[in-house]
């Protein structure tokens, strides 16, 4: 039986006339177990591996992708439903073999058959990721008993055979139907494009520099998925009558604005799908605007709950108390300050790289300089190291940097993809 706990970090004191309340709610899951391999009360699990076989992958690339997919197959627990999709400007069912959409149960026999089918893949054609997503959605739909649906998507190029609107339409058709971890191989794919897919489908996006990095990454992704034994989860945020929920964001282990996922539970409560859980801790930043009250008054600003299968598994309370003591109201929660800085850091990196790409060196220098400063302030040494491969850091404390004249494209892409990965709060 999984156990969830919730802890709230905040400064509940507001000055006279203060309205905005911020809290970091840390939710920890332990004892999640593994996915259900066969029919159970909690439903079944399904996995789909989507492999780019476009012409740009060439023979060596497709062989490496097939090897990586094989490594992922080895991690799927027997009894779990699975399928493999080969994607180019179309989407073809690589396994199970057949002309109709279907999934297969994992067993020693089907694992061997799937690996053999991967050996027949060959490069050719273009790239239309929206069609890949629609095919995955169709496949998951063939097994109505699935409660957990997860996919791994690999691409090495831009989505050249679909318009942005066509991709957006496809994403909306599958949003909420499955989760997808997306990986880009090499330097020819578009980070923003793939990130859009990953964020909509509650997954991750990352760069794989070379083919030899694929098997380990695929195996790790599938191993993590097998360890997420809790599905049908929702973060619920209640706010009092007249209050405004400014935003709900996941801030650790990755940044993700959940505000757009809100569904109304009742007039005062919004629900936010969180995807499947394993043994892990996730931090959420909740901001609520209240009507100001008199000095000395208190109010519950938000009730934050993690709900599993319709039942409350953990709860944290975000409070407000109006005070005339400036020593109390001037304090900022270290957790709130840290994650506010990490959120700004991600925006500064992405904005700086976009400016650099269009030749706006002034904006790029300013934004990336601010990113260096924020990385130092939040103790994000990994971000500082990645930034140092794109800019020359003259003074990290003030954010004074110079754009480097010769930068490896892969270094820029790694900085971009990693911008939404956060660090935990440093011990005080």
Query: Over its length of 428 residues, how does the chain's per-residue pLDDT go in tens digits?
Result: 789 999 999 999 999 999 999 999 999 999 998 886 765 556 799 999 999 999 999 999 999 999 999 999 999 999 999 999 999 999 999 999 877 889 999 999 999 999 999 999 999 999 999 999 999 999 999 999 999 999 999 999 999 999 999 999 999 999 999 999 999 999 999 999 999 999 999 999 999 999 999 999 999 999 999 999 999 899 999 999 999 999 999 999 999 999 999 999 999 999 999 999 999 999 999 999 999 999 999 999 999 999 999 999 999 999 999 999 999 999 999 999 999 999 999 999 999 999 999 999 999 999 999 999 999 999 999 999 999 999 999 999 999 999 999 999 999 999 999 999 999 876 55
Same domain as 385, residue 267: no
What pLDDT was estimated at residue 42?
62
Can you give the CATH number for the domain in which 17 is found?
Answer: 2.60.40.3670
**354 falls within a domain:** yes
pLDDT at 381: 95
Q: Is residue 427 part of a domain?
A: no
Task: State residue 40's pLDDT score.
Answer: 57
Q: Do 239 and 212 belong to one domain?
A: no
Residue 329, Cβ density class (10 Å: 0-12 exposed, 13-18 middle, ≥19 buried): middle
Count of beta carbons in the 10 Å neighbourhood of residue 68: 28
Domain final position from 270, 298, 331: 331
- Within a domain: 167: yes
- For residue 39, is it within any domain? no
One domain for residues 85 and 179:
yes
Contact call for residues 24 and 250 (beta carbons, < 8 A): no
Q: pTM of the predicted model, to two decimals? A: 0.94
> How much of the chain is helix, strand and coil, in % rounded to 5?
35, 30, 35
Q: How many structural domains does the chain have?
A: 3
pLDDT at 43: 78
Domain end residue (candidates: 331, 353, 371): 331
pLDDT given at position 378 = 93
C-alpha distances in angstroms, 179 versus 72, 85, 133? 16, 15, 11
* Residue 315 covered by a domain: yes
CATH number, domain at 175? Answer: 3.40.50.410
383-to-372, 380, 399, 420, 423 alpha-carbon distances in Å: 8, 5, 14, 10, 10
Shared-domain flag, residues 9 and 76: no
Is the N-terminal amide bond of 96 cis, ω within 30° of 0? Answer: yes
Q: Where are the beta strands (DSSP E) in 290-405?
A: 298-308, 311-322, 391-395, 400-403
Angle at 403 between CA 400 and CA 409, to 5 degrees: 135
Same structural domain, 189 and 93: yes
- Rounded to an integer, what distance in angstroms lies between the CA atom of residue 130 and that of residue 90? 9
Cis omega (within 30 of 0) for bond into 403: no
Instruction: Identify the CATH number of the domain in which residue 410 sits.
Output: 1.20.120.1690
Check if the beta carbon of residue 128 is closer than 8 Å to that of residue 159: yes
| DSSP H or E stretch at residue 297 | none
Q: Do residues 322 and 385 both lie within one domain?
A: no
Check residue 38 and give its pLDDT.
65
Range of the domain at 386: 335-420
Contact present, 29 and 2 (Cβ < 8 Å): yes
Residues 179 and 103 in one domain: yes
Would you say 153 and 181 are in contact if contact means Cβ atoms under 8 Å apart?
Answer: yes
In 3D, which of 180, 178, 186 has the Cα closest to residue 214?
186
Quick one: 72 and 200 in the same domain? yes
């Amino acid at each position: 039986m999984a156990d969830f706990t919730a802890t709230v970090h905040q400064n509940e004191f507001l000055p006279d006339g203060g309205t905005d309340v911020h809290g970091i709610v840390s939710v920890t899951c332990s004892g999640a177990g593994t996915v259900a391999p066969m029919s159970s009360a909690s439903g079944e699990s399904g996995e789909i591996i989507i492999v780019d076989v476009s012409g740009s992958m060439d023979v060596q690339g497709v062989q490496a992708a097939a090897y990586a997919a094989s490594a992922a197959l080895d991690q799927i627990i027997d009894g779990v439903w699975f399928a493999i999709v080969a994607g180019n400007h179309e989407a073809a069912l690589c396994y199970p073999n057949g002309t109709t959409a279907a999934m297969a149960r994992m067993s020693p026999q089907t694992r061997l058959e799937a690996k053999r089918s991967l050996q027949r893949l060959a490069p050719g054609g273009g790239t239309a990721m929206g069609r890949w997503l629609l095919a995955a959605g169709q496949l998951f739909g063939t097994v109505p008993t699935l409660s957990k649906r997860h996919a791994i998507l690999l691409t090495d190029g831009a989505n050249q055979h679909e318009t942005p609107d066509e991709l957006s339409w496809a994403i909306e058709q599958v949003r909420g139907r499955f989760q997808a971890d997306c990986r880009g191989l090499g330097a020819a794919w578009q980070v923003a494009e793939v990130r859009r897919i990953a964020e909509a489908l509650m997954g991750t996006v990352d760069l794989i520099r070379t083919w030899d990095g694929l098997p380990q990454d695929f195996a790790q992704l599938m191993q993590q998925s097998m360890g997420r034994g809790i599905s049908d989860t929702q973060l619920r945020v209640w706010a009092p009558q007249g209050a405004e929920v400014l935003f709900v964001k996941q801030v650790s282990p990755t940044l993700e604005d959940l505000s757009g996922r809100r569904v109304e539970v009742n007039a005062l409560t919004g629900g936010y799908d969180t995807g499947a859980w394993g043994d892990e801790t996730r931090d959420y930043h909740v901001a609520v605007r209240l009507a100001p009250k008199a000095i000395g008054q208190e109010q519950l600003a938000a009730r934050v709950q993690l709900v599993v299968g319709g039942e409350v598994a953990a709860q944290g309370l975000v409070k407000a108390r109006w005070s005339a003591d400036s020593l109390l109201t001037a304090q900022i929660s270290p957790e709130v300050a840290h994650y506010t800085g990490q959120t700004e850091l991600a925006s500064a990196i992405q904005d700086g790289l976009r400016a650099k790409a269009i030749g706006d060196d002034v904006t790029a220098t300013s934004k990336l300089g601010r990113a260096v400063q924020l990385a130092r302030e939040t103790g994000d040494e990994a971000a500082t190291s990645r930034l140092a491969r794109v800019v020359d850091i003259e003074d990290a404390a003030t954010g004074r940097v110079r754009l480097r004249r010769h930068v490896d494209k892969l270094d820029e892409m790694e900085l971009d993809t990693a911008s939404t990965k956060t660090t935990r709060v440093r011990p005080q």
